[in-house]
Structure 1
Amino acid sequence: MLASFLIMLREGLEAALVTGIIATYLRQTGRSAWMPLVWVGIFLAVALSLFVGAALQWVSAEFPQKYQELFEACVGLVAVVILTSMVFWMRKAARSIKAELHDSIDAALSAPKGAAWALIGLVFFAVAREGLESIFFLLAIFQQSSGPGVPLAALAGVLVSVAAGFAIYAGGLRLNLRRFFRWTGVFILFVAAGILASALGNLHEAGLWNGLQTPAYDLSRVLPVSSVVGTILSGILGYQESPSVGEILLYVIFLGVSLFFFLKPPRPGKEASVYAPSPATERPNAGA
């Protein structure tokens, strides 16, 4: 549950920051009349994300068991690619995202025709990116967990991120966003490693991978997944009570390589800074 909460919090906060930057810039440049179009873009993006999630869930339910395992493996692999690219993209783009958004807004609103659609499209694609990322992550998590806890935790993460986004926009909340994205990025890489290892297990169940299937260890009597601690570790770190050698190797290699490059200090002059909009001025976030 913690995994779904934190990742939805991060995804929601990313979307809130982007829309907050757009809304603040429109207000500060005397273009507040365009704000209803920002909401149109947000609602369209949310609707698309929900539609895609429902469609994928419906399609997967019609598959026979073998193809169900293959579908789960594909969803898991897509989720790993999306989660990994997300944390590295934010690490790289945070220092310039505000300036790029300002340039995009100016270009959209200066178009001789279709300025309204250009602004809607800008907001739509910014929010839809986060929404579709969330859909694939949640599908991968739902395949590993049962019960209402995971969706409720995901919903709580979205609600908290929306509240935080409004507080940041209003100037009432100041977060060290660079530190927040850094440590949630580390956490997400652990989650992605667990999803990747599970995807390898799904490929084996689908009959497409049969190598390195010797059990690495068996902790089913000491720490079963059905236990409270086992459930928590499974949801957060992708813990398995009896993984194969291949799953362990994939988990360790992916985690080692991704953490090395993610935690690697940026080159001099490339230090990232994340900006949180405020009502009067656009000040860099404290501590960034």
Structure 2
Amino acid sequence: MLVPFLIMLREGLEAALVVGIVAGYLARTGRAAWLPAVWTGIFLALALSLFAGAGLQLASAEFPQGIQELFEALVGLVAAGMLTAMVLWMRRAARSMSSDLRASIDAALAGGSGRGVALIGLVFFAVAREGLESVFFLLALFQQSQGAAAPLGALLGIGVSAVLGYGIYAWGLRLDLKRFFRWTGVFILFVAAGLLAGSLRHLHEAGLWNGLQAVPFDLSGWLPADGPVGVVLAGLLGYVPDPTLGELIVYVLFLVASLTLFLKPAGGDTGAPRPAAAGL
């Protein structure tokens, strides 16, 4: 439950920040009449995400076993790629996101009769990106989890992110967004590493990958995957008590490469103090 909650909290907050920046800028510049276009873009993006998720889930239910394993491997690969790209993009873009969005709004509303469509498209693509990332992540997670805990955690994360996003927009709520995105980014990279290792496992079960199947260690005797600690570690870090050599290599190499890219100082960061909280 914790993993989908944290992922959806971050994804939802990113989308809420974008919407809040757009809505706040329109209101402050005397263009609040364009707010219906913002809500239209949000609705269309949510509809696309829901239809994409439902379609993929229904299609996968009809697959034979081998194709099902391949589908789960591909979903895991796509989810890991999207999560990693999102984390690295946010690290670069957070510094200028607000000014870039304002410039995009001005450009969208500077045209002629197509200004409403341009604004709808701006919001649609911004929110749809987060929605489709969430769809692939949740598909990968729901394929590995049983019961209602994961969906409930995802819904709770969306709800909390919506409340925080509205608080930032309407009440001037101050959050240490830089620290929030940094720590959740590290967490998401561990989740992505687990998804990659799981995809390699699914490829083996589909009969497409049979290399590096030796098991270098087995911790199931003292830290079983179905025990309380094992369940938490599996959800948070992708823990498997008896990984194959291939899964271990993929997990470690991905973490080393992605954490190095994510944690290195950003270009132009002089280390000077910056405001801890981001306003809109």
Q: Give the TM bin, normalised by the shorter chain.
A: over 0.9
3-state SS in 1 of match to 2:26 = helix
1:172 deviation in Å? Answer: 4.0
1:141 deviation in Å? Answer: 0.8
- The answer on 1:198 being equivalent to 2:201 is no
Write the deviation string for residues 233-266 of structure 1: whole angstroms up to 9, x where unpaired.
Answer: 1111101122101101110110011111111112
Contact 1:196–1:250 (8 Å) recurs in 2: yes
Write the deviation string for residues 22-41 of structure 1: whole angstroms up to 9, x where unpaired.
Answer: 00100011001111111111
Structure 1 portions without partners, runs of 5+:
278-288
- The answer on 1:185 being equivalent to 2:185 is yes
Counterpart of 2:251?
251
Counterpart of 2:34?
34
Runs of 4+ in 1 over 4 A off after TM superposition: 269-274
Contact 1:41–1:123 (8 Å) recurs in 2: yes
> What amino acid maps onto 1:25 in structure 2?
Y
Counterpart of 1:145?
145
RMSD of Structure 2 on Structure 1 (CA):
1.4
Structure 2 portions without partners, runs of 5+:
none
> Identity rate of aligned residues, in percent?
64
Counterpart of 2:102?
102
> What amino acid maps onto 1:276 in structure 2?
G
Q: For residues 270 and 113 of structure 1, do their structure 2 counterparts lie closer, same or farther at Cα, with a shift above 3 Å needed?
A: farther
1:150 deviation in Å? Answer: 0.5
3-state SS in 1 of match to 2:144 = coil
TM norm structure 1: 0.93
Distance 2:40 2:270 in 1: 35
Distance 1:57 1:150 in 2: 16
- Once the two structures are overlaid, the 10-residue window that deviates more, 52-61 or 92-101, is 92-101
Counterpart of 2:279?
276
> What amino acid maps onto 1:229 in structure 2?
V
3-state SS in 2 of match to 1:210 = coil
TM norm structure 2: 0.96
Distance 2:72 2:269 in 1: 42
Contact 2:172–2:279 (8 Å) recurs in 1: no
1:91-170 superposed matches below 5 A = 91-170=91-170
Contact 1:66–1:205 (8 Å) recurs in 2: yes
Counterpart of 1:81?
81
1:270 deviation in Å? Answer: 7.0
> What amino acid maps onto 2:184 in structure 1?
T
Contact 1:10–1:181 (8 Å) recurs in 2: yes
Distance 1:268 1:116 in 2: 36
Contact 2:92–2:266 (8 Å) recurs in 1: no
Distance 2:151 2:262 in 1: 28
Counterpart of 2:213?
213
Counterpart of 1:281?
none
Q: How many residues align?
A: 277
